[in-house]
Amino acid sequence: MQTSPPPEPVALPRSKALVFGAIAIALPLFALLLVEGALRLAGAAEARRAPFQPAPDHPEAVVLSPDFGAQFFRGFRPGVAFDPLLVGKPAGGLRVVALGGSTTASFPYTFPYGFPARLEDRLAAMLPGQPVEVANLGMTATNSYTLWALAEPVAELRPDAVVIYSGQNEFYGAYGTGGTQGWTGTSIPLKRFLIRAGQWSTVAGLSGLLGRGEDDAGESRTMMARVVREAAIDRDSETYRAGIAQYEANLRDALQTFTEAGIPVFLSTLTSNLADQPPLGDEPEATEAYERGRRLLAAGDTAAARAAFLDAKEADGLRFRAPEALNDVVRRLADAFPNVTLVDAQARFRDAGGGLEDATLFADHLHPNARGYALLADAFADALRQTLPALGEAEDPGPAPSAIDPVEEGVARLQLTVLTSGYPFRKDRTPEQAADAARAEAQRMRAAGGADALAARVALDDLPIMNALDLAGQQARAEGDTLAALRLYGGLLHWQPFNESLMAQAVSYALANPAYDDETAILGRYATTHARDAFSYNALAAVALRRGDLDGADALLDAAERVAPDSPEMLFNRARLLVLRGDTARARVYFGRYQAAAGQ
């Protein structure tokens, strides 16, 4: 039996084929958009698209969300400072935003002791009675891609200035050319596309699923050990050139955004420990240059020694310290943009070290110690004062403070132990041996008791730092250690910027101890820049009067009078000020008002 051949397939007309093809492509895209829309309505990944979120229980202020930094990593979320900014920018005030990596984020300290916090204190001293906000947006292990991603959201905050200290993580930070995220190659557009794509809720969800558990998979290495893909980046390599190129491209575009928004930018050169940090890599050229520098330094030739140490850093293939090519980019871009002021931190540190950057200014290979952070704050403050009209006539209050509270000292010491116990500082140790060495130091500190024990518990995530500061403060007061108690109050206030009762308690305690007026002034300035209440203004005015700063007291009493014109403390302090200035007639008027307000 013969069978008929199958019928020939009927070809669709070209127009219909195109329509069906378009539908086949559009349906999954439409489904994806529906899922994306639903997730966005539910608020998924909102912090990636809008990094500034309402502060918990305080919708009048915004803070940088910790989730924003998570998009640059898998299995790691960099910590962020809790530095709220008011939604409504205060009239007549000064708002500054600080951008950068772990140095801006204040490592090895927590954010109350980094240069942004010390900059805020110094600016508040320049502008008594006026609102001052300095928001620290620094994040560990981030680099110029974070500057690029944050530029537009930061511009929308309408800051009076942006300060930038960034560049040490260009090779091994997020999307660094020699780091473990280097699978993206050297394409700047591709990396930017991935960052933008990561702000989609669907992509964020998939990324979260893929990265879930990575940080709990028995990883004992430090962040420095985990981010290195290329441990020997030669100056003639494509990896090196790509790192310099991406830094310049991202920084240039961020500066262009701020320029178009009319925001002054203060851009700093990068500095690092030259004299007391041997090369981290294994290049013989770097080792020879470093040893030559040590010999020259021992012979008393500091200038030649510094040149040799710079050669050692430049030849060091393990590029955790920024090469001088990045400082060349900083200087070039500062010249190219009229709204950008160069802040030469490298020169400031060199001069402060007697012609050489060394361990008297650094806690490790590149992060400043307490003295170094105060120096960096001073460098930015001086540049702001010389450039911004609001600060043009302000008196220079002197260097930023560098004191650290005892809990913070312990936390920093243990952080540095963790960092330097293994790779790349101790290549002879396995990750497990390095972790054992850090645990042994933590156990030693716990056994020592006091602030060290509390610091160890903080570092081991056994005790929130706010609780540790509170417990240490109670102990210091019980032991009569007023100076330690005042410094602990200062640290605690930064973690609780909305706690006005704590501010009042801290300032009242400080006022009762006139022997420590420097610490009292720091507490009072923090309270006036955050609580902005009559009590804080009056307290700081009382300190100013005790120190003979009549102009500062006058400005602070003006602020107190605007807030509470019938405040007995303000009226009494105003009468004192007028007596000191010889205006006894007006002093009697204010004293009479004080008596009436106080019911005398």
CB-count burial class (<10 Å; 0-12, 13-18, 19+) for 44: middle
Fold of 78-85+92-185+234-279+320-391: Rossmann fold (3.40.50)
Q: Please say if the pLDDT value at position 215 is more than 60.
A: no
State the residue for tokens 């300095």. 134
Lowest mean pLDDT, pick from 53-57, 120-124, 126-130, 395-399: 395-399
Could you tell me the residue ranges of all domains in the chain?
A: 78-85+92-185+234-279+320-391, 282-315, 403-486, 496-600
Confidence of residue 51 (pLDDT cuts 50, 70, 90): very high
pTM: 0.91
Q: Please say if the pLDDT value at position 14 is more than 80.
A: no
Q: Please say if the pLDDT value at position 167 is more than 60.
A: yes
Q: Are 248 and 329 in contact (CB under 8 A)?
A: yes
Q: Which residue did the predictor score with more confidence, 600 or 413? A: 413
Q: Which residue did the predictor score with more confidence, 27 or 239? A: 239
Q: Quick one: tokens of 125?
A: 């001293």
> How far apart are the C-alpha atoms of 202 and 263, rounded to whole Å?
34
> How far apart are the C-alpha atoms of 279 and 288, rounded to whole Å?
10
Q: What is the DSSP letter of 90?
A: P
> How far apart are the C-alpha atoms of 574 and 558, rounded to whole Å?
9
Per residue in 484-540, pLDDT (tens digit) is 999 999 999 999 999 999 999 999 999 998 899 999 999 999 999 888 889 999 999
Is the CATH code 3.30.420.40 the one for domain 496-600?
no
Other CB atoms within 10 A of residue 582 CB: 8
Confidence of residue 73 (pLDDT cuts 50, 70, 90): confident
The dihedral region occupied by 443, where left means phi > 0, alpha psi between -120 and 50, and beta the remainder, is alpha
> How far apart are the C-alpha atoms of 312 and 306, rounded to whole Å?
10
pLDDT above 70 coverage of the chain, percent? 88
Question: DSSP 3-state assignment of 340?
Answer: strand
Q: What's residue 213's pLDDT?
A: 46
Q: Which residue did the predictor score with more confidence, 29 or 556? A: 556
> How far apart are the C-alpha atoms of 315 and 457, rounded to whole Å?
40
Q: What's residue 202's pLDDT?
A: 59
Question: Is the fold of 78-85+92-185+234-279+320-391 the same as that of 496-600?
Answer: no
Q: What is the mean pLDDT of the chain?
A: 90
- The b-or-e profile of 2-32 (16+ CB within 10 A means b, else e) is eeeeeeeeeeeeeeeeeeeeeeeeeeeeeee
Strand bridging mode 161-165 / 132-136: unpaired
Q: What's residue 125's pLDDT?
A: 94
Confidence of residue 217 (pLDDT cuts 50, 70, 90): very low
| Average pLDDT for 229-254 | 96
Q: What's residue 216's pLDDT?
A: 43
Q: Please say if the pLDDT value at position 293 is more than 70.
A: yes
Per residue in 183-207, pLDDT (tens digit) is 677 899 999 988 888 777 655 555 5
Per residue in 122-133, pLDDT (tens digit) is 999 999 999 999
SS (H, E, C) 325-337: HHHHHHHHHHHHC
- What is the DSSP annotation of 477-517? HHTT-HHHHHHHHHHHHHH-TT-HHHHHHHHHHHHT-GGGH
